[in-house]
Amino acid sequence: MTEATVGRRERKKEETRRRIFVSALQLFQEKGFQSTTIDDITERADVAKGTFFNYFPRKEAVIEYLAEEWLQVAEDVVARPGPVGPRLIELYAGAARAYEENPDLAQMVLRTSMQRFCCPAPEGPWRRFDELVMALIREGQASGELRSDLGARVLYGVLASCFVGALMWWFGERSEDPDPSLRDVTLTQAVATLQATALDGLKVRKEA
Amino acid sequence: MTEATVGRRERKKEETRRRIFVSALQLFQEKGFQSTTIDDITERADVAKGTFFNYFPRKEAVIEYLAEEWLQVAEDVVARPGPVGPRLIELYAGAARAYEENPDLAQMVLRTSMQRFCCPAPEGPWRRFDELVMALIREGQASGELRSDLGARVLYGVLASCFVGALMWWFGERSEDPDPSLRDVTLTQAVATLQATALDGLKVRKEA
DNA sequence: GTCTTTCTTGACCGCAGTACACTTTTTCGC
DNA sequence: GCGAAAAAGTGTACTGCGGTCAAGAAAGAC
């Protein structure tokens, strides 16, 4: 019963959410976030306007929902065993790959995230991402892999920044440089390069 | 003529812009950016709604205009003689001070800037800030003060990130830590601490 | 004065989000 | 099975705000 009964209603509900979600993302990619109206979305999803708000309280909530899905992937990475360093890198490299696969959507996610990070108390998926990375850093500090003379949150700041920096570099190269070989540098490479600078600062210095 | 005639109209225009600008900032501080309506602003500035859009194409343009004013200060810092390092630091420390003096407004500026940085081609004041810091970095590379094995834009990425990281740390400490002594760490201190990690990566390594 | 240019005005539009009364579908006790 | 309660969906009407626009007022040139 628990399987079949929870079914019908729950299933239909999930299906409707999915239809709205997918329609919205399609339209965002086709016409951009701003130019897509709720009416566009509900028409394509074949539901009434009010139904949209049953599932997503605001238009941006669709983007937040997408962020949540991507976050699932990130959580799997963090849960893996082994040293902290590679997992941290993989976390950001994964984000970079998501970005390359779907720049338009990723940009919307990033833009929304950025806004959230600017306010003292980020909420929802970003708060969880926050805690996720923080836990990973604390683990690294406990195991002696990461330096402990600075607080975990400082290290988190550097790490997050490293990614932001990579993004900026990537955007910069792409828009400024007419050389196509340089323009084709991947974001993943950009993240790797940034490790050579900022990320190194996080590690325990063996020579000093 | 050029002095007296440029007067009347020109003067009134500037005065109207100022009145709208100041009213807007006041209201943003009193009720927040979102909750302030254009009607609120125009009512306080005692002009018609349409007049607002003669001066600021969008609501956020008020924030951009504020950013532009702050940017003037930054440009003076960059123009100063001497080694590049202290000027770079002063640039960000200045921003940090502006932040501490007026957190609410600065947060809005930051939020808007963040959004702009996320798109490949930042425009307006941010583009100029971009060029400003880039020029400073190139100067440092030319004089041998900053490492040249990485492109100027990479270093810029690290530098900008450093500031973002400091902000995140600052927010984090403030919201999480109940210890008031820790909560009173200034953003300027935060920036300084971040230098110990990310910023060091920029410098020419003398021992290696 | 009158002509031209520039600025101001308020009515107007489109869209996000709300409210509500109503229909349809699903669940579940009996 | 059946019928009532609960939940999800529909459609419409409404509010509020960001942003536009055409017509009118003010400033300067002559």
B162: nearest Cα among A168, A104, A94: A168
Separation of alpha carbons A85 and A91, rounded Å: 10
- State, as a whole number of angstroms, the distance between the CA of B196 and the C1' of C10: 57
Q: What distance in Å separates residue B207's CA from the closest CA in chain A?
A: 11
For testing contact with chain B, the best of A115, A150, A168, A187 (most B CBs within 10 A): A168
Residue ranges of chain B with per-residue pLDDT less than 70: 1-7, 116-122, 169, 171-208
Class of residue B147 by CB neighbours under 10 A (exposed 0-12, middle 13-18, buried 19+):
middle
Which whole number is the average pLDDT over A176-196?
59
What DSSP string runs through B31-63?
Answer: H-TTT--HHHHHHHHTS-HHHHHHH-SSTTHHH
Residue A52 has pLDDT above 90, yes or no: yes
Per-residue pLDDT at B44:
97
Per-residue pLDDT at B22:
97
A8 CB less than 7 Å from any atom of strand C = yes
Per-residue model confidence as pLDDT tens digits over B131-147: 888 888 899 889 888 87
A43: nearest Cα among A54, A51, A32: A51
Least confident of A97-101, A180-184, B42-46: A180-184
Which whole number is the average pLDDT over A139-163?
79
B11 to A11, A18, A188: CA distances (angstroms): 66, 57, 53
> Which comes out higher in pLDDT, residue B18 or A208?
B18
Per-residue pLDDT at B186:
64
Residues of A in contact with B174 (CB under 8 A): 120
Residues whose CB is less than 8 angstroms from the CB of residue B150 and which lie 6 or more positions away in sequence, other chains included: A193, A196, A197
Residues 48-87 of chain B within 7 A of strand D, judged by CB, are 49-50, 53, 57-59
Output helix, strand, coil percentages for chain B, rounded to the nearest 5: 75, 0, 25
Q: Is B1 helix (H, G, I), strand (E, B) or coil?
A: coil
Per-residue pLDDT at B74:
85
Separation of alpha carbons B30 and B104, rounded Å: 10
Which whole number is the average pLDDT over A135-148?
86
Which whole number is the average pLDDT over A120-139?
80
Least confident of A65-79, A152-166, B23-37: A152-166
Per-residue pLDDT at B184:
57
Residue A24 has pLDDT above 80, yes or no: yes
- State, as a whole number of angstroms, the distance between the CA of A55 and the C1' of C21: 21
Per-residue model confidence as pLDDT tens digits over B166-176: 777 676 666 66
Residue A137 has pLDDT above 60, yes or no: yes
Which whole number is the average pLDDT over A100-117?
80
Q: Is B146 helix (H, G, I), strand (E, B) or coil?
A: strand
Residue A4 has pLDDT above 60, yes or no: no
Residues 13-52 of chain A within 7 A of strand C, judged by CB, are 36-39, 49-50
Helix spans in B102-144 (H):
103-117, 125-142
- Angle formed at CA A28 by CA A22 and CA A33, multiple of 5 degrees: 135
Separation of alpha carbons B204 and B149, rounded Å: 9
Per-residue pLDDT at B2:
39
Report residue A120: phi and psi, to 5°: -50, -40
Per-residue pLDDT at B208:
36
